[in-house]
Structure 1
């Protein structure tokens, strides 16, 4: 995967992180206690029936929930690491102008026309895109993409 492809995935990575966060919270709410009503009798005379509630957790279900939570947590950690690396790359770009272009394009998901308008009256769509492409040509390969690790 090259750097441009990785940067294009930044918004999707953020959304997937939010989704995984919701799934993990939902799993935590599922791991509640199970309550069961049982009819019991006394062993001494007079024999009387009484209702007893048994509280506990189903161990099999808990194990499955824990395994699934581990899978989600691992994926969450990997995505968070990629997001941090991509944003760190944007923060380390040489000039403020280029950082703004990359932030508008990959974090805010703006079109080239909107970016040119935000960059000022002397900026054209083509000039903004060319500056962007020059930086990507210099940094063609993604140093922190999963395939490289």
Structure 2
């Protein structure tokens, strides 16, 4: 969340800095033959944008790092789901799905499990299962 906010702020800064395609021109002499100039030439170019280019590069780096983190998190989620699916007891499997995947509180897990379950009992059952591994 914090990284997303930083990326958004940096993107906003870049938008505010964005050049309005300012063209820079200069008139120079083509050289001299003795004291006489060989002619003049007008040179056209764009304003130096190194500062905005640096910010854009940093923004691309941040976005790439964020994508890597998200990919790692997705892999971890898949690992957790695989672990849960391998648990032979369906009751424990359901509790783990509610708690770890759906991110419910222990009381919400107990409520989802139905009558006869308490949040504390669900927590203890899951802790015992995790202690086995």
Question: Shift of the alpha carbon at 1:135?
Answer: 0.8
In structure 1, the residue matched to 2:39 is none
State the 1:56 CA deviation: 9.7
Structural RMSD (CA): 3.9
Q: Is the 8 A contact 1:112 1:125 kept in 2?
A: yes
Q: 1:87 to 1:55 in 2, by over 3 A?
A: farther
TM-score under structure 2 length normalisation? 0.54
| Equivalent in 100, 104, 108 of residue 114 of structure 1 | 108
Would the aligned equivalents of 1:36 and 1:53 in 2 still touch at CA under 8 Å?
Answer: no
Counterpart for residue 64 of structure 2: 70
CA distance in 2, matches of 1:94, 1:38: 70
CA contact (8 A) 1:91 1:99 kept: yes
Distance 1:62 1:111 in 2: 41
What are the equivalent positions in structure 2 for 1:73-88 lying under 5 Å apart? 73-88=67-82
Task: Give the SS at the match of 2:21.
Answer: strand
Contact 2:106 2:123 survives alignment (8 Å)? yes
Distance (whole Å) between structure 1 residues aligned to residue 59 and residue 107 of structure 2: 47
Gaps of 5+ in 1: 1-15, 42-51, 140-149
Gaps of 5+ in 2: 27-43
Secondary structure of residue in 2 paired with 1:90: helix
> What is the CA-CA distance between 1:126 and the residue it aligns to?
4.7
Higher relative contact order (CA 8 A, sep 6+): 1
2:95 matched to which residue of 1? 101
Q: Deviations over 1:78-135 (max 9, x none)?
A: 2222222223222332233212101222233333333223222233445433321221
Alpha-carbon distance in 1 for matches of 2:48, 2:94: 55
Which shows bigger deviation, 61-70 or 21-30? 21-30
TM-score by length of 1: 0.50
2:117 to 114, 120, 123: 123
